Structure 1
Amino acid sequence: MTGGGSLGTAPDPIHDAALAAQLLLIAPASFSGIVLRGSSPARDALIAALGDRAKTRKLPGHIDDERLLGGIDLAASLSAGRPVEQSGLLEEAKGGLLIVPMAERIGDAIAGRLAQALDRGDLALVLLDDGAEREDTPPVSLMERCAFHCDLTHSRASTTDDLEASHAPDLDAVQPLEDKALEALAATAAVLGVPSLRPLMSAGQAARAHAALSGRTRASDADLTAAARLVLAPRATQLPPLDEPQQESQPPEPPQDRGDEQRDTDTKRPDQPLDEMLVEAASAAIPADLLAQLAKGQAPRQTSGSGSGQRRKSGIRGKPLSARPGMPRGGARLALIDTLRAAVPWQEVRRREQPDASVGAILTRKDDLRVRRFEEKAARVTIFAVDASGSAAAARLAEAKGAVELMLAQAYVTRSEVALIAFRGDSAELLLPPTRSLTRARRALAELPGGGGTPLAIGLNAARETAQSVIARGRSASLVILTDGRGNIAADGSPGRKQAREDAEAAARAIAREGIDALVVDISARPGSDAPALADVMQARFLALPRADAKSLHSAISAMQPAHAAA
């Protein structure tokens, strides 16, 4: 198997995606769904093939609860003069597949409704993930329930003919997995860092479904291997240890085609334990980009928002949300259709109470009023706090200046702003208030001061106060502290390393208490232990970048900034 190899030698991922789709069709309620990441012609062909094999419905982008769950058909009710019920999309998709385009944009409310339908076994989901970044994923509640995660980003196929079934597999005819097989799957999940029990149960079902697909009544090693590859490998959060027993004495395996379902015992070396074989198979199937992240020690994050800023409710602009009861005042706008939909069921009762009302009039009351809601992303402000003291000040300031300019260059795309604080001597100065203006930034950064003592505590306090000011105005704030962590000026401006260290730790704890996202970057020529200790007290991320240039600093900050979930 060569799933973790280069793109030039690895089989096209569409083959595993098609195999996962076949297993999903055998027991949709057991597997709950499949996630297909990355738009490609092969994905379109796979979705079309699924439509030929099962009943499918598509989830509209801005669906409301009435359309999703069922309710009043407003047009038919107004025409008939009485409430007319309509079935919901979940009911229409019952027993089939619900295709969800742009699944990374699903709101929490809709995700909750879909998760409930999955738990009841009403349907299965086909989540189409088109997120630009790996952090842009569908909601965790749905990702956790969907058994199969397939990344087709690097697929080069234009069609797929792997979804043809020669017979109707009977899952009930396959015997339950033996304890040895269950223990091997559990050991594989533990080695790959898969903490949840849902994927483990899905892997067991996948092994049985793969056996049924192959016409077997008992799951073989090949079925367990396919289950580990399709269910556990895409969820890996760590790499297996390199110093496994007997690994050095084992001869290298020739590459094999992951699309071939008849691997059986060919992949298993003589006397190789079952759990080791499954770990090896799953490791080889980890997608290349995920493998690169794990190799760098970066576990994937499951989030529901992008790194541009927190999401907040708004009454005037942003992504449309479902309407809510309320008065159209204070900038909130009336949701006319939702208001009428709330009033229609009560018309007969109200006409008996108001017999003199005009024929054909819709009788509405205050309780019927609905207002529009929107969700907008708050602007993110990255606050650089730069140690401008000592002989390294010129290098640090030059790097910070370049990184600020690079971040501002993409400000209009990411809705971000940048601020810059420099601390030296016995004070800290806000050189650049939060701004998106590249011209203004260049003018402020043209001549930066440098040299003198290191008032680390004063700089951290100034950064915290600036972040608090930003958050108070409804924006998201993150701190980037560029320092070696060795302060020699106390918070009151007096010299002394001991007091300076205590004051810096107190300032760092204050940042941690506020819950402000922070990153400590040690760009000294010889990183020591002071900066990591400061980051630990601050509950911040730490990054050592000796001799960093502006581009590498900007890349590191962009990679380390977390994606915020919905506020």
Structure 2
Amino acid sequence: MTDAAAPGGAGLCWADAAYAAALLAVDPAGLGGAVLRAAPGPVRERWLRLFRERLPEAAPMRRIPAHVSDDGLLGGLDLPATLRAGRPVARAGLLAGAHGGAVVVPMAERLSAGVAARLRAVLDEGRVRAAREGLALEAPARLGVVALDEGTADDEAVPPALADRLALHLDLHPFRPTEPAVVPDAAAVAAARARLGSVSVGDDVVEALSAAAVALGADSLRAPLLAVRAARAAAALAGRAAVAEADVARAAMLVLAPRATRLPQAEPEADQPPEAPGEDDPRPDQDGAGGGEACDGDGQEAAGAVLPPGLLEQLKTAARLQAAGPSVGRTPVRRRAQGPGRPAGIRAGPPPPGARLAVVETLRAAAPWQRLRGAAPGEPLRIRAEDFRHQRTNPRTRTTTIFAVDASGSAAVARLAEAKGAVELLLADCYVRRDRVAVIAFRGTGADLLLTPTRSLARARRCLSALPGGGGTPLAAGLDAALAQVEAALRRGERPVVVVLTDGRANVCRDGKGGRRAAAAEAEAAARSLRASGAACLVVDTATRPEALAAALAAAMAARYLALPHADAATLSRAARAAGEEGGHAVPA
């Protein structure tokens, strides 16, 4: 195998990812499928091509379109055939058509709850079941699901209940499209598929993989079951009649390691030290040689060797968010308005003002009842009020970025200059995204709203250029003013993002009186109020060196913290956008 591991530490190499494509082709329905975290590009297409070429020649591989309907996914009324025949005629859906093969789900991180639930049901039962429009549909659908995770933020992911049913979780970001790999060819995979049913699994294998799952914190009961299936497929691919040590290592590496939530703490057997291939190369050999009895520590060692980079930091973030409660992070705003936006399904009833009539769905609802309504074949459809269907949409939520700028002290001019550049860059993006920006400055004894939420670049320049600097730091007043803008944005159905530029050295209270201790206490209370609002927040530390007070302010606000002693406008703009995308997750600079 190539040694091109993921940057930043241990990780799978491209040869492992390519081998996983062959492994999934051996038993797509048994393994459930794979989650591919990768942006569209040649690497992802290369992996999909490797997988497709190793499926049986007659096996279908279908792509699920965005916003697929239940009729398209599960099957439903065939409207043209129904109109010709004068009676309800059913047609198979996409999942039934993929029986024996696989389906590819683009942008799976944005998958609706309904489609995810239907995919889970098909994976669990191996059949499609649907009853609608006077039809009862049932068809076999044993298939694998390849979920393409194109998310860029930490909180964008494939729905957990669906991802739990997919054995392989692969991150293809570190790889290049030209990396070499020796992959079992289609003939070897076909032979393994024929051999799979006769591969035996010993109790020691099940115990080893179960112990590895516990050690890694993979709490789902499906994890060791999928790992056992992967070990069987690996043994079949290697031409073995029974699962061996190398197959256990493969399964732990590909199935259990990506699900790890803690670092393993394995203790070797006192009377039987593990026979590992070496500390620097914990992966099994390329040719799969080295069969034999599986040891209890082998699965744990192989999985521990390829833990995702940054696991400890992810665990810290997850623990902090869990302790903070559900108010931290992104606050989804759902409006009932009908208008431009993402399609959100079909609803029965006449369309309300601004909504569009779903013509095809209306005809589908009316077609099964034509004989009862006395319509002869070939006559126009008789449509009643209860047949009407209309398209629901989720209007796009605009983002309002609120800059709260500390204009006090001798460094105010530099801070305002950077804020001005960041606002101008964000406003340039707002022309495309139709998002808005507001600017608050706090100095002396209070805070001023310099710029109400706007997309006007000229207004932003005029307001910022005339702002003087100097005086005390009424930090609590600045945060209160930002909170008022957050609440106003939420009332308008917008998503607020707060960017606070300060060194955290509060010394003026809300009443305008001085006192560092009282001012700091009020600032912390104001930060917690912002945290409770659910707004995504970013604290930019503008001190000449990272300041503990600014970091503490970010922690109280559950905000992303960025120490920028010499911030430039482009960095601030990128950080503000990242805070909005990540929902205010606190990460170290």
Q: Who is 1:49 aligned against?
A: 53
CA distance in 2, matches of 1:272, 1:322: 50
The alpha-carbon distance between structure 1 residues 440 and 298, as it changes in their structure 2 partners (threshold 3 A), is farther
Q: Who is 2:397 aligned against?
A: 378
Counterpart secondary structure, 2:372: helix
The alpha-carbon distance between structure 1 residues 415 and 105, as it changes in their structure 2 partners (threshold 3 A), is farther
Equivalent of residue 508 in structure 2, options 489, 509, 512: 489
Q: Who is 1:339 aligned against?
A: 362
CA distance in 1, matches of 2:317, 2:371: 56
CA distance in 1, matches of 2:451, 2:264: 46
Superposition pairs of residues 206-225 of structure 1, within 5 angstroms = 206-225=230-249
Q: CA deviation at 1:276?
A: 6.1
CA shift digits 1:295-351 (9 cap, x unpaired)? 87698999xxx9998676653322333221122232111111111111112222232
Moved more, 325-334 or 199-208: 199-208
TM-score, normalised by the number of residues in structure 2: 0.79
The alpha-carbon distance between structure 1 residues 255 and 512, as it changes in their structure 2 partners (threshold 3 A), is closer
CA distance in 1, matches of 2:516, 2:365: 68
Equivalent of residue 213 in structure 2, options 183, 186, 200: 186
Is the 1:237–1:300 Cα contact (8 Å) retained in structure 2?
A: no
Is the 2:252–2:300 Cα contact (8 Å) retained in structure 1?
A: no
The alpha-carbon distance between structure 1 residues 140 and 414, as it changes in their structure 2 partners (threshold 3 A), is farther
Counterpart secondary structure, 1:316: coil
Moved more, 492-501 or 70-79: 492-501
Counterpart secondary structure, 1:420: strand
Counterpart secondary structure, 1:495: coil
Q: Who is 1:84 aligned against?
A: 89
Superposition pairs of residues 452-463 of structure 1, within 5 angstroms = 452-463=471-482
The alpha-carbon distance between structure 1 residues 310 and 222, as it changes in their structure 2 partners (threshold 3 A), is farther
CA shift digits 1:173-195 (9 cap, x unpaired)? 322452651355225523xxx55
The alpha-carbon distance between structure 1 residues 229 and 425, as it changes in their structure 2 partners (threshold 3 A), is same
Counterpart secondary structure, 2:469: coil
Equivalent of residue 364 in structure 1, options 383, 388, 407: 383
Q: Who is 2:325 aligned against?
A: none
CA distance in 2, matches of 1:557, 1:236: 31
The alpha-carbon distance between structure 1 residues 440 and 251, as it changes in their structure 2 partners (threshold 3 A), is farther
Q: Look up the equivalent residue of 2:535 and give its one-letter code.
A: I
Superposition pairs of residues 197-346 of structure 1, within 5 angstroms = 197-235=221-259, 260-262=286-288, 264=290, 274=298, 277-283=301-307, 286=308, 291=309, 315-346=338-369
Q: Who is 2:372 aligned against?
A: 349
CA shift digits 1:514-547 (9 cap, x unpaired)? 2222223323234444333333333334343344
Q: CA deviation at 1:484?
A: 2.7
Q: Look up the equivalent residue of 1:34 and give its one-letter code.
A: A
RMSD: 3.9
Q: Who is 1:410 aligned against?
A: 429
Q: Who is 2:76 aligned against?
A: 71
CA distance in 1, matches of 2:244, 2:46: 30
The question of 1:174 aligning with 2:200 is answered yes
CA distance in 1, matches of 2:123, 2:215: 26
CA shift digits 1:127-173 (9 cap, x unpaired)? 35272725554434333321112344434249986342432232453
- For structure 2, the 5+ residue unaligned runs are 128-141, 269-275, 322-328, 585-589
Is the 2:405–2:416 Cα contact (8 Å) retained in structure 1?
A: yes
The alpha-carbon distance between structure 1 residues 172 and 451, as it changes in their structure 2 partners (threshold 3 A), is farther
The alpha-carbon distance between structure 1 residues 124 and 382, as it changes in their structure 2 partners (threshold 3 A), is farther
Is the 1:308–1:377 Cα contact (8 Å) retained in structure 2?
A: no
Q: Who is 1:145 aligned against?
A: 165
CA distance in 2, matches of 1:57, 1:550: 45
CA shift digits 1:417-443 (9 cap, x unpaired)? 322111111121112222333343233
The alpha-carbon distance between structure 1 residues 176 and 407, as it changes in their structure 2 partners (threshold 3 A), is farther
Counterpart secondary structure, 2:195: coil
CA distance in 1, matches of 2:264, 2:421: 39
Q: CA deviation at 1:511?
A: 2.0
Is the 1:308–1:380 Cα contact (8 Å) retained in structure 2?
A: no
Q: CA deviation at 1:105?
A: 4.4
CA distance in 2, matches of 1:172, 1:251: 28
CA shift digits 1:103-145 (9 cap, x unpaired)? 3443332222112211223433443527272555443433332
CA shift digits 1:80-107 (9 cap, x unpaired)? 2222222222233334322334434433
Q: Who is 2:544 aligned against?
A: 525
The alpha-carbon distance between structure 1 residues 58 and 515, as it changes in their structure 2 partners (threshold 3 A), is closer
CA distance in 1, matches of 2:12, 2:299: 24
TM-score, normalised by the number of residues in structure 1: 0.81
Moved more, 321-330 or 149-158: 149-158
Q: Who is 1:164 aligned against?
A: 186
Q: Who is 2:124 aligned against?
A: 119
Is the 1:455–1:493 Cα contact (8 Å) retained in structure 2?
A: yes
Q: Look up the equivalent residue of 2:94 and give its one-letter code.
A: L
Q: Who is 1:247 aligned against?
A: none
The alpha-carbon distance between structure 1 residues 501 and 103, as it changes in their structure 2 partners (threshold 3 A), is closer
Is the 2:5–2:13 Cα contact (8 Å) retained in structure 1?
A: no
Counterpart secondary structure, 2:382: coil
The alpha-carbon distance between structure 1 residues 162 and 439, as it changes in their structure 2 partners (threshold 3 A), is farther
